[in-house]
Amino acid sequence: MRLLLLCIAVSAATLAIPRDTSAEQYVHGPDSMPNDSVPHGVITQHQWLVSKVYPGTKRRYSVYIPSQYDGSEPAALMVFQDGHAFDGVDGDFRVPVVFDNLIATGDMPVTIAVMIDPGHVGDLPEKRGWQPRPQNRSVEYDTVSGDYAEFLLTEILPHVAKEYRITDNPELRAICGNSSGGICAFSVAWHRPDQFRKVLSHIGSFVDIRGGHNYPPMIRKTDKKPIRVFLQDGENDLDNQFGNWPLANRQMAKALAFKDYDYELVFGTEAHNGKHGGAIFPDSLRWLWRGWKDESP
């Protein structure tokens, strides 16, 4: 299935660059709007104050529990980096609203979302967000290693699993992020496909910050892994000393195509922001979770 909604789809065979790179206007569709006719999940807020993987860091995270979850069966899982950008009912992504709507229609499974902010060094700020900016974000997200996967699997997720039943099936575990959070999402699945097999990357920073530009050749030279990858970017994304984001995402797509991965690359005209990714977020999730009923135990 290829996405045509509010985007320029780029297939594995053709990665064409449109001549007009002026930003289009992206708007949210009905799946991103609150719907009183569907059950509504709940968001709870939490803190993680001691980390062994990232010593000296503290962070906040939130957990979305869908209304349909009753504990009788394990829920699917989706993890989000920069959690504060996702857990609101307005803004670009609106995870609680979109999840409510797609779970109700069966377009995705009953899914618990864990939305985690990067680590602050020292005292934890009063509020979530970018002020002040989390000092450990680049270390956690841009580093090409399995450290962040280790953090999730040994610290945050076992704690969440004490209260909620989460599936062990990696086909029903997804991970998502924007920018550095996007490359982080890929790193988690790349290093631990036994735990996560679905990746959603918006404006992913596959550039030379902490070695992310090495992923395309790594993909080409490594045996194919059982992961599904959705990449979103815009023609007016960043171009600086670390690299060119549109080019880097195209290189990722070409490498994934070379190894015959299940992937999608969708290009729009926006810059380094969540406008395009947020507008197509419901359809991105539909593509990512397609066939989930066949993957259930």
The CATH number assigned to the domain holding 116 equals 3.40.50.1820
Question: Is there a domain that residue 112 lies in?
Answer: yes
Q: Which among 264, 195, 260, 207 has a CA at the least distance from the CA of 237?
A: 207
Q: Does the predicted model carry a pTM greater than 0.85?
A: yes
Number of domains within the chain: 1
Residue 196 has pLDDT above 80, yes or no: yes
Residue 77 has pLDDT above 60, yes or no: yes
Please report the pLDDT score of residue 129 as a whole number. Answer: 87
Question: Is there a domain that residue 91 lies in?
Answer: yes
- Contacts with 247 (C-beta within 8 Å, 6 or more apart), sequence order: none
Question: Is there a domain that residue 177 lies in?
Answer: yes
Please report the pLDDT score of residue 14 as a whole number. Answer: 32
For 15-44, the pLDDT digits (tens) are 333 445 566 789 999 999 999 999 999 999
Question: Is there a domain that residue 1 lies in?
Answer: no
Please report the pLDDT score of residue 107 as a whole number. Answer: 98
Please report the pLDDT score of residue 151 as a whole number. Answer: 98
The residue segments making up the domain with residue 73 are 8-14+26-292
- The mean predicted confidence, pLDDT, of the chain is 93
Q: Which helix (H) or strand (E) holds 121?
A: strand 120-121
Question: Is there a domain that residue 206 lies in?
Answer: yes
Q: Are 200 and 183 in contact (CB under 8 A)?
A: no
Residue 193 has pLDDT above 90, yes or no: yes
Question: Is there a domain that residue 84 lies in?
Answer: yes
Please report the pLDDT score of residue 248 as a whole number. Answer: 98
Percentage of the chain lying above the pLDDT 70 cut: 92
Q: Are 213 and 206 in contact (CB under 8 A)?
A: yes
State which amino acid sits at residue 37: S
Q: Averaged over 129-145, what is the pLDDT?
A: 95
Q: Which two tokens stand for residue 93?
A: 């992504």
Task: Give the CA distances from residue 70 to residues 34, 39, 124, 145, in Å, rounded to whole numbers and listed in that order.
Answer: 22, 13, 33, 36
Question: Is there a domain that residue 46 lies in?
Answer: yes
- Per the DSSP assignment, residues forming a β-bridge with 267 are 8, 233
Question: Is there a domain that residue 2 lies in?
Answer: no
182/204 Cα distance (integer angstroms): 4
For 224-240, the pLDDT digits (tens) are 999 999 999 999 999 99
